[in-house]
Amino acid sequence: MSTNYVLANFTKREKIGFLSLAYANSDKAIIQSAVCCQLIAFYLLGNPGDRIALASMGGNTVFGENEDDGWSFTDVTDAWVENCRIKYGMA
């Protein structure tokens, strides 16, 4: 089933989307994508202590009733992909 997954940082209110990266539209596609796995690891290492979760933007979600729905989070996908390329020569 196709779902819009994001890596959501609740501390900084930003997100990384995966649909534009190897069209990773399922949990299986994200796990099987080296680019997505590298980006997740790079982001987690770059944001220690932040409240971060892999979340679905539709259906079952970690965005609870008292949380923002996630759509207003700043999309930082392009910036983090570029940082990953520059710093590590990957993604």
Model confidence pLDDT, tens digit, residues 62-78: 555 545 566 788 999 99
Q: How far apart are CA 87 and CA 43, in angstroms?
A: 12
Share of the chain above pLDDT 70, in %: 79
Work out the mean pLDDT of the chain and round it to a whole number. Answer: 81
Range of the domain at 28: 5-64+71-88
**Pair of tokens at residue 85:** 């390329």
Q: Is 80 exposed, middle or buried (0-12, 13-18, 19+ CB in 10 A)?
A: buried
Burial of 71 (0-12, 13-18, 19+ CB in 10 A): exposed
> Does the pLDDT at position 52 exceed 70?
yes
Query: Which tokens go with 6?
Result: 């994001």
Tokens at residue 67, please?
A: 């949380």
Per the structure, the count of domains in the chain is 1
pLDDT of residue 82: 87
Residues in the chain: 91
